[in-house]
Structure 1
Amino acid sequence: MDLQSIQDHPAFRQLASERTRLGVGMSIVMAATYFAYILTVAFWPRLLGHPLWDGTVITWGVLIGIGLIALGFLLTAVYVRRANSRFDRLSQLLMEEFR
C-alpha cells in the first residue's frame, strides 16, 4: 500500500472533492456575510444604528451581529453532521479497502 494508490482510489477522490467543495462553499458564505456586515458598518453605520423598535436601545446592528455568530455555529453544525455521516462512511470504505 503506497500513498499514490490511496490517492488514485475513487473513494478517496470523492471524499477529497466533497470535503473541499463543502469547506470552500461554507467559507465563502461566512466570509461574504461577515464582509458585508463590516462594509455596512464602515460605509452605512446609520443603517445598523436604528433601534429594533421605538424605546429600545438594541439596534439592528447588534441583532445582525448576533445573527452572524449564529450563522457560524450553524455552518459548523452542518459541517459536523456531514462529516459524521457521509465523510465517515467514505473514510471507513477506504480503511477497509487498504487493510
Structure 2
Amino acid sequence: MSDSIYARVRRNPNYQVLVRRRGRLAVVLSALVLVSYYSFMMVVAFAPGLLGRPLGEGATLSVGVPIGAGIIVVSWLLTGVYSYFANGPFDDLTNDLIRETAE
C-alpha cells in the first residue's frame, strides 16, 4: 500500500474511533484478567491457609480449587466478550473504514 492510503486511513474519524474503542476494551479486559490472577497468586503466597481450607466438614476439596476454576472460566468469558466486539462493532467500523478509504 502506498503512504497516501495510510495517511487517508489515519485521518479518517472512524479509524480514530476504532483505535480508541479497541484500546479501551483491551485495557479493561487485560486489567480484569491480571487483577483476578494476581489477586489469587497473592493469596496463595501470603495467606495459603485461606485457600487450603476444606469446602465443608469432611470435604477433601479445598476452597482454592473452585476459585481457581472460576478464574479460568472468567478468562474464557472475557475472551468471548472480546470476540463479540471484534466480530461485531469493531468489524463494522473496519468495514466502514475500508469502504470510505477505497472511495
- Name the TM-score, length of structure 1 as normaliser: 0.95
Moved over 6 A (4+): none
Q: Structure 2: how far apart are the matches of 1:2 and 1:86?
A: 23
Q: Structure 1: how far apart are the matches of 2:97 and 2:77?
A: 29
Q: How far off is 1:5 after superposition?
A: 1.6
* 2:12 matches 1:9: yes
Aligned-residue sequence identity (percent) comes to 36
Q: How far off is 1:80 after superposition?
A: 0.4
Q: Structure 2: how far apart are the matches of 1:43 and 1:98?
A: 54
* 2:30 matches 1:30: no
Amino acid at match of 1:92: N
Q: Structure 2: how far apart are the matches of 1:57 and 1:30?
A: 28
**Uncovered stretches (5+) of structure 1, i.e. residues with no partner:** none
Q: Cα RMSD (Å) of the superposition?
A: 0.9
Q: How many equivalent residue pairs?
A: 99
